[in-house]
Structure 1
Amino acid sequence: MSEAGNPDAPRFPQGRGIVVGVDGSDQSMCALAWAVQEAERRRTPVQVVTAYTVPVFAASSMDAGYATVDDSVVREGAQAVLDQAVQRVAGRHNVELVPRVENGDAAGVLLELSAEAELMVVGSRGRGGFVGRLLGSVSSALPAHSKCPTVVVPLSCASRLEEAGVTAPTSKGQPSPRADEVEKVVVVGVDGSEQARMASLVAAEQAQARGLPLRVVCSLPPFTGSLAWMPTPVDRDALHSEIMVQLNAGKAWLQSHFPDLQISVELLDGPPVEILIEASRKAELVVLGTRGRGGFAGMLLGSTSQGVLHHARGPVLVVPDREDPRLLDRARFGPMAS
């Protein structure tokens, strides 16, 4: 069972603090470096968490039963990984670091902690520094089920993060941008769904807190042979105009809640995954909903969010479904996808 239920373990009040999962991989070091920078901006503490499980093996002798690895040995290995990670970022920022070693499945531990955190941060496709640590599965499971927003930080962010202490890989022969080459903008992908509207509110909050403009992006994927059954040709220009009306209405709605924020909207032709992956390469932050319902053109379905997370070149914030009173007045500002 996770030590998160232990009253003696360090805890933050609900809705406070950033929780970051580490496992000794370069990916998790990028996540930790990003989390520390974000925590300094928010003036909030960071829980640096690693988890371990004790493997059980079937007995090899004729005797019935099972053999287990000594818990203390595995825990010491986990503690060593955690200590090394914390030492690499300690003292670089004015941030309180709270190290935690938890006994349990990594995804389960982090999901439990998400109920008391304001933000979860994990690396993308970590490979695990010791037994039982596979952040690759965590970075897929956590955003979809977390109780708070989750940021997935890919290894390609290393060139932006001096504290990571690792080398960013190249993509198609092109190096990842350095911190001074990152475009100072927050990008949010929308598709007309309620989930996307929630994501746009959180994206606007992030942009305003950072003093950056917000770019609202929607994609119109190319039509394929799958639409050959339709009785009449699709008027793409008319569809484009209709979507732009909805996007501008959405912009007006956002502007009413964030009057001082610079907001722009873009409707781009192309597959949504490719468009958002390209945006992630230089944007300060890309924001997505956990899933959409195809309000515009099927954008931001669960598969789209997964596709972006697995191939993003920069940090991606995934916003879970939740109720927000600001969603109730969207219809007053003009047409919206039903």
Structure 2
Amino acid sequence: MDTVSPPAPVEAAVPAARPNAVGRRTVLCISERGAGATATAWAVEYARRHDRTLTLAHVIDPQTNDDAHPATQAEVDAATELLETTAEHVRYQVKTLSVTVHVSNGDVHDEILRLSGPQTVLVFGAPAASELSHARNSLGITLASTAYGPVAVIPAPDEQVRHGVMAAVDGSETATRAALFAASEASLLGLDLRVVSVWSEPPIWQETFIDSRTHNELVLRNGAVLNAATDGIRLAYPSLTVTGVLRHADTVQALLAEARSASLLVIGSRQEHGIRRLLLGSTSHGVLASLPAPTIVIGPPSAT
């Protein structure tokens, strides 16, 4: 049985971001109130499929305590015991999987960044459907704009019949990376891949009449972006069934509609530096706020 990682000292200040603190190829599943079992099951399967280690983590944030004081050692120990119970169950179910637990005390965002690195996959459970109006402020959305590596946000289960993997492309390097990531997942899962490109007229044209020649030129230009993406994927994954879909619509609403029956959605996020890094792009934020399917956000290559 794996040795349980000892909790960090409760008095210690949160260190500066330090990549790869839990291992270079770790799935880090973050325990949040009301969003545990589904995300944990997803993280277990992802770690097993990719031959990665799994860390079940919980951060006790003083700001969320009623008295705004750091948690006591007894509270850290109690949280560790709860996570270790889950870890024992996972170890029994998937005997080949290495599972550890990590409980610490401090700012949740800073501590998770400290633990993770460019190859760490962060997994969060989304609020239940009745609480989706609060999803805009969830930790998963915040970290999707700042994490070193991929971030998976997993919704509560529903009755939707799901099939296939979907990726969104727009011609950017980050979207291309996301589409290739989606292709890799589809290949491992034995599922088809649907690549969706959504376009609309530039804002300055949206209130004016566009002649058919200009409209056709926009269709051809955006179709070329989609074809380039699907051709690249077929070259890299020749045995994968890839379908391209071009939509002329509002980007967020079209992606939500297309992804509603997907087993997995992969989107890119153009992370920024400084204060702008705290915000996701409007498309990725809009998708995560409604979360039509299990979604993985891929940022640009990390400089870390």
Mapping of residues 145-224 of structure 1, within 5 Å: 145-155=146-156, 158=157, 168=158, 176-177=159-160, 181-183=161-163, 185-221=164-200
Of 261-270 and 224-233, deviating more is 224-233
Aligned to 1:32: 40
CA distance in 1 between counterparts of 2:109 and 2:247 reads 35
Aligned to 2:292: 313
Q: Percent identity?
A: 26
Check conservation: 2:31, 2:124, Cα contact below 8 A. yes
Check conservation: 1:152, 1:315, Cα contact below 8 A. yes
Mapping of residues 188-267 of structure 1, within 5 Å: 188-221=167-200, 227-228=206-207, 235-267=214-246
- Code of the residue aligned with 2:138 in structure 1: it is S
Query: Among residues 19, 28, 33, which one is paired with 1:19 in the alignment?
Result: 28
Query: Among residues 74, 96, 99, which one is paired with 2:98 in the alignment?
Result: 96
Check conservation: 1:150, 1:319, Cα contact below 8 A. yes
Alpha-carbon distance change, 234 to 85 in structure 1, aligned in 2, over 3 angstroms: farther
**Which secondary structure state, in structure 2, belongs to the residue aligned with residue 283 of structure 1?**
coil
- Code of the residue aligned with 1:256 in structure 2: it is L
CA distance in 2 between counterparts of 1:105 and 1:29 reads 23
Tell me the matched-pair count: 274
- Code of the residue aligned with 2:116 in structure 1: it is S
Check conservation: 1:107, 1:137, Cα contact below 8 A. no
Deviation readout 1:139-191 (Å, 9 max, x if unpaired): 12111111111101112xx2xxxxxxxxx5xxxxxxx32xxx321x1110111
CA distance in 1 between counterparts of 2:293 and 2:235 reads 29
Check conservation: 2:168, 2:175, Cα contact below 8 A. yes
Q: CA deviation at 1:112?
A: 1.9
Alpha-carbon distance change, 310 to 135 in structure 1, aligned in 2, over 3 angstroms: closer
Q: TM-score, normalised by structure 2?
A: 0.76
Check conservation: 2:34, 2:127, Cα contact below 8 A. no
RMSD: 3.5
Check conservation: 1:3, 1:102, Cα contact below 8 A. no
**Which secondary structure state, in structure 2, belongs to the residue aligned with residue 282 of structure 1?**
coil
CA distance in 1 between counterparts of 2:255 and 2:193 reads 14
Q: Is 2:30 the counterpart of 1:50?
A: no
CA distance in 1 between counterparts of 2:93 and 2:144 reads 28
Aligned to 2:281: 302
Check conservation: 1:124, 1:136, Cα contact below 8 A. no
Check conservation: 1:182, 1:283, Cα contact below 8 A. yes
- Code of the residue aligned with 2:109 in structure 1: it is A
Check conservation: 1:35, 1:46, Cα contact below 8 A. yes
Alpha-carbon distance change, 147 to 120 in structure 1, aligned in 2, over 3 angstroms: same
**Which secondary structure state, in structure 2, belongs to the residue aligned with residue 322 of structure 1?**
coil
Q: CA deviation at 1:76?
A: 3.7
Check conservation: 1:216, 1:266, Cα contact below 8 A. yes
CA distance in 1 between counterparts of 2:28 and 2:227 reads 36
CA distance in 1 between counterparts of 2:173 and 2:21 reads 33
* Greater Cα radius of gyration, structure 1 or 2: 1
Of 247-256 and 48-57, deviating more is 48-57
Aligned to 2:275: none
**Which secondary structure state, in structure 2, belongs to the residue aligned with residue 146 of structure 1?**
coil
Query: Among residues 107, 114, 120, which one is paired with 1:105 in the alignment?
Result: 107
Q: CA deviation at 1:53?
A: 2.9
CA distance in 1 between counterparts of 2:34 and 2:227 reads 41
Q: CA deviation at 1:104?
A: 1.6
Larger RCO: 1 or 2 (CA < 8 Å, sep 6+): 2
Check conservation: 2:143, 2:151, Cα contact below 8 A. yes
| Structure 2 runs not aligned, ≥5 long | 1-12, 129-134, 273-279
Query: Among residues 118, 121, 127, which one is paired with 2:120 in the alignment?
Result: 118
Q: CA deviation at 1:13?
A: 3.5
Check conservation: 1:29, 1:85, Cα contact below 8 A. no
Aligned to 2:3: none
Deviation readout 1:267-292 (Å, 9 max, x if unpaired): 02322212222333321210000139
Q: CA deviation at 1:79?
A: 2.8
**Which secondary structure state, in structure 2, belongs to the residue aligned with residue 91 of structure 1?**
helix
